[in-house]
Chain A
Amino acid sequence: MAIFSVFVVNKAGGLIYHHDSYAPRAEAEKTFSYPLDLLLKLHDERVLVAFGQRDGIRVGHAVLAINGTDVNGKYTYDGKEVLEYLGNPANYPVSIRFGRPRLTSNEKLMLASMFHSLFAIGSQLSPEQGSSGIEMLETDTFKLHCFQTLTGIKFVVLADPRQAGIDSLLRKIYEIYSDFALKNPFYSLEMPIRCELFDQNLKLALEVAEKAGTFGPGS
């Protein structure tokens, strides 16, 4: 998947929509017997690997699932604490899936507001009068593209650095927003977007963008 995520930020800097489509690349599931030779620690409501990196399981990876069922933060799906569960020899052998932890909704909200502020700072730092804010942020593994409409809504797309046509994708997302979110009378402006049609059309647009790289003339 070359387009990793889409975020929509409202005028006040709050995240009103996010969509992730990247497949986690580093996940490893292994069966373990007692005692566990990895050192696990609790950090930020997650159980992370602190020591004992081996076989695709790296330091910093979180426990994602035990015996096939996803864990809920530091608790298993049936409410027991993960560390306690894994400390009990009676539960072994156990199959644990490790992987890079995903961002929680709260973290995304925080990052979106932070980006909103950075965007504003970007336009004020400019030596030219009346400059726009941050349009693109580039790293070696992804490119962040941002499009701010004249009304102050920002559409942010994180994609592979080699992916082309993101500008037209951003315009297309704006059109989809103005159609399926705004023309829905039950959607209040500036609130989180919970419109099924918006989701569907956005996913379709992302697929088209990844395949074709562009939307063709007339868009």
Chain B
Amino acid sequence: MSQEFNRGPAPQQNKDLFILTYGALVAQLCKDYEKDEDVNKYLDKMGYGIGTRLVEDFLAQSSVRRCHSYSEVTHIIAEVAFKIYLGVTPSVPCNNSSRNEFSLILDKNPLSEFVGELPAGRSSLCYCSLLCGIIRGALEMVHLAADVTFLQDKLKGDSVTEIGITFLKQPEEKKYRRKK
């Protein structure tokens, strides 16, 4: 049982299979659906399902404490979660002064590292919509509603990939869970 305790970063071989699997997934969805919006939507939906489960694995492994601000949450996502699961650490510049919009800037996205550019009929495809869905699903499980979208995408010609997280105000239902 001792392997259970050593959760180091995944070795390089595993990532290649993962990248290929993701590529195959997007390719199949492109074959199944004509419109880019549909593909994006289904990728996001799948990501949401993954996020709801991944968050428990993340919390169990990393034993992070309760966060007290949205900024802290974003930093934990960038510095701990991305590091564990994708091996990269996006940077978090400070955004909007109302402190509920944040960005994650990735200059190296392992999922789309080997995709040069989007094919000609698929210019509004968000290749990594899955990631948005994952973040959204994970946040929702810890009672933080958020909108997660791609603000910039290297595959579309921008210089970096930027994921925007906008935390939405929640109705005050449970006081004891408010402080997160």
Contact = CB atoms under 8 A, between A and B. Distances in A.
Interface in B83-121: none
B179 A130 contact: yes
A204 B142 contact: no
Contacts of A151: 55-56, 59, 141-142
Interface stretch (B1-9, B22-30, B148-156): B1-9
A149 B56 contact: yes
A131 B52 contact: no
B1 A204 contact: yes
Given A189-B52, A204-B1, A219-B5, A182 B57 contact: yes
B60 A178 contact: yes
Residue of B6, B56, B175, B180 with most chain A CB atoms under a 10 A cut-off: B56
B130 to A, nearest CB: 15
Task: Point out which of A152, A175, A189 has the most chain B C-beta atoms below 10 A from its C-beta.
Answer: A175
Contacts of A120: 176
| A interface secondary structure, majority | loop
Given A204-B1, A219-B5, A124 B176 contact: yes
A51 B66 CA distance: 54
A66 B142 CA distance: 51
A183 interface: yes
Given A151-B141, A189-B52, A204-B1, A179 B57 contact: yes
Interface of B is mostly: helix
A72 B148 CA distance: 54
A127 interface: no
16 contacts: A120-B176, A130-B176, A130-B179, A149-B59, A150-B66, A150-B142, A151-B142, A171-B63, A174-B60, A178-B53, A178-B56, A179-B57, A189-B52, A215-B5, A218-B5, A219-B5
B124 interface: no
Contacts of A133: 176
Contacts of B175: 124
A177 interface: yes
B123 interface: no
A153 interface: yes
Contacts of B61: 175, 178
A183 B57 contact: yes
A95 interface: no
Nearest to B6: A218
Interface-centre pick from A124, A130, A171 (highest chain B CB count, 10 A): A130
Interface in A105-144: 120, 123-124, 129-131, 133
A171 B176 contact: no
A177 B56 contact: yes
Contacts of B63: 171
Interface in A166-210: 171, 174-175, 177-179, 182-183, 189, 204, 208
Q: Nearest 8 A-B pairs (CB), nearest first? A: A178-B57, A182-B53, A178-B56, A130-B179, A178-B60, A175-B60, A174-B60, A123-B176
